[in-house]
Amino acid sequence: MYEERASRLPGAVVWTNTPDASGTGRVLPDGCMDLLWHEGRLLVAGPDTHAQLTEGTAGAWSGVRFFPGTAPALLGVPAHE
């Protein structure tokens, strides 16, 4: 189940997702960048410019979604990096 709430950081939301089954999913492009936490790993994703297919196992994901243009300023790295 996907849940989203406001973040203390301006220009961002905090979210959690716990898929209950393994398999293929789809991430639609929204121009946002996410910091993702899953199985003890921190990942950076986005900004997506086209739909992405995902494969994986059931398990808890959490993240911070930054609105377009916000994450590069925070991370100090251009989005294309």
| 8 Å CB contact between 38 and 72 | no
For residue 60, give both structure tokens. 């808890």
| 8 Å CB contact between 74 and 66 | yes
Q: Can you give the residue ranges of every domain in the chain? A: 2-68
One digit per residue, the tens of pLDDT, for the chain of length 81 reads 889 999 998 999 999 998 877 777 788 999 899 999 999 999 999 888 899 888 777 789 999 999 998 998 888 888 888
Residue 75's identity, in one-letter code, is L
Alpha helices in 11-75, H assignment, sequence order? 71-75
Question: What's this model's pTM, rounded to 2 decimal places?
Answer: 0.82
Alpha-carbon gap, residue 39 to 13, rounded angstroms:
21
